[in-house]
Amino acid sequence: MKKSVLALAMAFGVTSAFAQDLTSKKGEPILPEAGDWAISADATPFLNYMGNFFGKTSNNAAPTMNFLGSNSLIMGKYFKDEKTAYRVGLNIGLNTQTVKNLVAQDQPSPATPPPGTAPTMVTDKSVFSTTGIGITAGIEKRKGKTRLQGYYGAELGFYIASQKQTNTYGNAFAGTGTSPGTSPTPMSTTWNSAAVDAAAPNNGVPSFSGAAAAASRVTSDKLGMNFQFGVRAFIGAEYFVLPKMSLGGEFGWGLGFSTTAGGTQVTEAIYTGTSPSSMTTKTGGSSAFILGANNRNSMFGPSGSLRANFYF
């Protein structure tokens, strides 16, 4: 963090001698004008790169473009005039992850493989899919006649998301356990639920805790639709270090509402007789109401973030 602040101070210091000059030596305007577009990116990787470069440390990884927003919104602006800008954010995300696990094929009872013979394997598969759509819109007003520009405004946002996990198994259920490749308690992968996978550090890749003889197993696990709505006011400042390029940051305060509907889980087992059947159970939902700064209502991006802004 100290290196980031140092690099930011250096950037300000380099341009202090001509802070009041609002055109470059080539006559290019420094500040945004009517009709300009802009995009914003997290400035931290760039500042860390500068600090590490001058400090000659080993942590000198090249910067990357990390778009702002907890839901990876692509953020942009359009300037109606030099003092007024419309802000928009958009994210349309589709993600599907598939994991396969090999388990031993159930053998005809009571036969067993000859000694030294590897068991025949079958494949269990889990597919975890997520869909998310996020939209934000707002208006920004700007103040200042030098390279240092202040701004303020308001915006609102919507976000909807869904998650589903579907599991298939290589070994089938059978009530008698006498048919080849079947069993009343077939060897099956123990897949974690969609809720567990959604919150896992591996970003929702289906996970499992091994395989065991299963009297029942989950074939479908669907989380309820999640809906979020938020509105906030924001205030920030940016300094134009080069023509149409600035560093700055903003704080936001507002309210947000989130609700997740109940989901459904389908379980396969031999409940009666000798044939497998499915049972559907409902899972609970949740809701939340938040009033506070961005770090408590992060739909619009991290509170107090340093941003690199590019105008064209």
Q: What is the pLDDT of residue 100?
A: 96
Q: What is the pLDDT of residue 93?
A: 84
> By residue range, what is the domain housing residue 219?
2-311
Our count of domains for the chain comes to 1
Q: Which residue has the higher pLDDT, 74 or 190?
A: 190
The mean per-residue pLDDT over the stretch 201-212 comes to 82
pLDDT in tens, 235-266: 999 999 999 999 888 888 888 888 999 999 99
pTM score, whole prediction: 0.72
Rounded-to-integer distance, Cα 115 and Cα 122, Å? 20
Q: What is the pLDDT of residue 65?
A: 44
Q: Name the average pLDDT for the chain.
A: 80
The mean per-residue pLDDT over the stretch 101-110 comes to 76
pLDDT in tens, 271-297: 887 788 899 999 889 998 888 776 554
